[in-house]
Amino acid sequence: MSYEWIVNIIANNWPMFLRGAGMTLLISIIGTIIGAIIGLIIGVVHTIPMPERGIKKTVLKIVNFVLSAYIEFFRGTPMMVQAMVIFYGSALAFGIDMDVFIAAVFIVSINTGAYMSEIVRGGIFSVDKGQFESAQAIGMNHFQTMMYIVLPQVVRNILPATGNQFVINIKDTAVLSVIGVTELFFQTRTVSGNNFRYFESFFVACILYFVMTFTITLLLRRLEKRLDGPENYSMIGGLPMQVAKPDDTENKIKI
């Protein structure tokens, strides 16, 4: 490996690397946020108590079946195949000409949503059952219990897994080059095709991927510590208490 070639590649192609890294981060951020919202919605729907009878029970069973099929399909197939089917298949089968960026965000979002739904469900089940029973005792329905009691705890509990999914999305956006998304891998392949220095070009890309994922990991860890609060808590603002002086106590005893 020639270090002069690495410096030369960075100096001559840094705008392409920068645009590719920016596109990678943009798709990952939007896809992770939308996927987390999808996961929260599916997680709440999956925990709705099943009615004993009636049309509500039938509708809820159908909804749960559709959501389970969605989760299993997108968790059981590679994102690269999903990108090919959705982008090219929608054009051939339905005549839908999707924008490449919109298609990329859509693919990452629904793929992330399938994984986040299971993460959210695990976070909901980790909340003590006594809190559900207490909410029902004071007259809260299922959605009120989720909104005001359960989900605030779930969001904190699933934050590490959400951050891990974000890091995975940063790396997995490389497969979107198959539909022409100009992310970091696509731009690196273009640079290496121009100078025929594949190792040096992809070494630069490797460093950029590491910098992005490592920085995101550090930021998320700091956010987790901030949400946890200080390790030691002190009670402040307590009610004042009257304490008798030792001299007064002795005088009372003598009397």
With vertex at residue 108, the alpha carbon angle to CA 122 and CA 146, rounded to the nearest 5 degrees, is 30
In 158-197, alpha helices (H): 159-172, 184-195
Can you tell me which residue has the tokens 């590490």? 160
Closest to 174 measured CA to CA, from 83, 97, 70 = 83
In the structure encoding, which two tokens stand for residue 9, read together? 């590649």
Question: What per-residue confidence (pLDDT) applies to 245?
Answer: 52
pLDDT digits (tens, 9 = 90+) for 87-109: 998 888 888 888 899 999 999 99
Q: What is the pLDDT along the chain (255 residues), one digit of tens a residue?
A: 577 888 888 888 889 999 999 999 999 999 999 999 999 999 888 888 787 777 888 898 999 999 999 999 999 999 999 999 999 988 888 888 888 999 999 999 999 999 999 898 888 888 888 888 888 888 888 788 888 888 888 888 888 889 999 999 999 999 999 998 989 999 999 998 888 888 888 999 999 999 999 999 999 888 888 877 665 555 555 444 444 555 554 555 454
Cα distance between residue 28 and residue 24, in whole Å: 6
Q: How far is CA 34 from CA 18, 38, 109, 113, in A?
A: 24, 6, 6, 7
Residues 6+ apart with CB under 8 A from 11: none
pTM for this model (two decimals): 0.82
In the structure encoding, which two tokens stand for residue 148, read together? 């005001």
> Angle 100-125/79-94 helices, nearest 10 degrees?
130
Cα distance between residue 175 and residue 13, in whole Å: 22
Cα distance between residue 28 and residue 249, in whole Å: 71
Cα distance between residue 76 and residue 70, in whole Å: 10
Strand, helix or coil at 76? coil
